[in-house]
Amino acid sequence: MIDQYLDFRKRMGEKLTPDSLLFRHEFNRLQARAPPSTERPLERSALFATITRLSFELARKEEQHLLEGQLRKGQPRSGVKVLHGFRKYFATCLETEGVNPVYVELLLGHDMGLKNVYSKPTATQLLEGNGDKVLGYIYGINALTINEENRLRKQVAEQEHTIKVQLAESNQQVLELKKQIERIQNVIVNDQAQVRDIRASPNFKNKIMKG
């Protein structure tokens, strides 16, 4: 999406350089390039306001589309609010993956009452958890990811790890077999040397002559 956005700015006549701002305050679709003297980064508050506005616009469009479809089918108005549905989906995915329910509520921004006073996990704890018993947000990323690319990347990484482990085990087995073969060869060489020494001794020749 970032590449598409930058391509759009190029098509509008803007000459992008490595120093060009990704999101800037002045942006006119009819004149994409703002004067260098007025070009400034988009403030965090403005970016947050834009995302919020787009979220509500999307929610209204989704609800309107759902309502129109139900009215065409003669169905009563129903369905899930988009923003509420997203938060519910977020919480369900994290809880299904075993993320600490308290962490989930805090990530949702819910008021936990007295728990907000007595339980104050750090940002790192919310992200990573406290070991295997208390899981953090990162353990739910795979379930939250809609794009299949993340799951495929994780599967490939797991398969590569499995292959490396299997190769390491195979190499270890090969080394052990080589050591066993070397020990057997050493035994054979020693035995052959002892046989040669026995045959070369005078006592052995005398025994042979006496029958």
CA trace torsion 196, 202, 205, 206 (10° rounding): -150
Give the residue with greater pLDDT, 98 vs 131: 98
Of 43-47, 57-61, 79-83, 189-193, least confident by mean pLDDT is 79-83
Contact 42, 25 (CB under 8 A): yes
Report how far residue 152's alpha carbon sits from residue 24's, in angstroms, rounded to the nearest whole number. Answer: 34
Whether 97 has a pLDDT exceeding 70, the answer reads: yes
pTM over 0.75: no
DSSP 96-150: HTTB-HHHHHHHHT---TTHHHH----HHHHHHBSSSSSB-GGGGHHHH--SHHH
Sign of CA pseudo-dihedral 11, 14, 20, 22: negative
Report how far residue 148's alpha carbon sits from residue 141's, in angstroms, rounded to the nearest whole number. Answer: 12
Please write the tens of the pLDDT for every residue from 21-35. Answer: 887 766 655 555 555
Please write the tens of the pLDDT for every residue from 118-139. Answer: 778 888 888 888 876 788 888 8
Residue ranges per domain, the chain?
A: 2-72, 82-144, 148-210
Whether 184 has a pLDDT exceeding 80, the answer reads: yes
Report how far residue 83's alpha carbon sits from residue 206's, in angstroms, rounded to the nearest whole number. Answer: 105
Confidence class for position 192, pLDDT limits 50, 70, 90: confident
Report how far residue 106's alpha carbon sits from residue 91's, in angstroms, rounded to the nearest whole number. Answer: 11
Of 37-41, 126-130, 196-200, least confident by mean pLDDT is 37-41
Residue position matching structure tokens 């990162």: 138
Give the residue with greater pLDDT, 207 vs 107: 107
What 3-state DSSP class applies to 24?
Answer: strand
Q: What's the gap between Cα 203 and its chain centre?
A: 78
Confidence class for position 37, pLDDT limits 50, 70, 90: very low
Q: What is the pLDDT at residue 30?
A: 57
Whether 149 has a pLDDT exceeding 80, the answer reads: no
Q: What's the gap between Cα 181 and its chain centre?
A: 44
Count Cβ atoms within 10 A of the Cβ of residue 34 and give its class: 0-12 exposed, 13-18 middle, 19 or more buried.
Answer: middle
Average pLDDT of span 136-148? 82
Extract the tokens encoding 6. 């930058």
Summary mean pLDDT of the chain: 77
Extract the tokens encoding 57. 């616009």
Of 55-64, 91-100, 136-145, 183-192, least confident by mean pLDDT is 55-64
Please write the tens of the pLDDT for every residue from 3-15. Answer: 888 888 888 777 8
Q: What is the pLDDT at residue 198?
A: 72
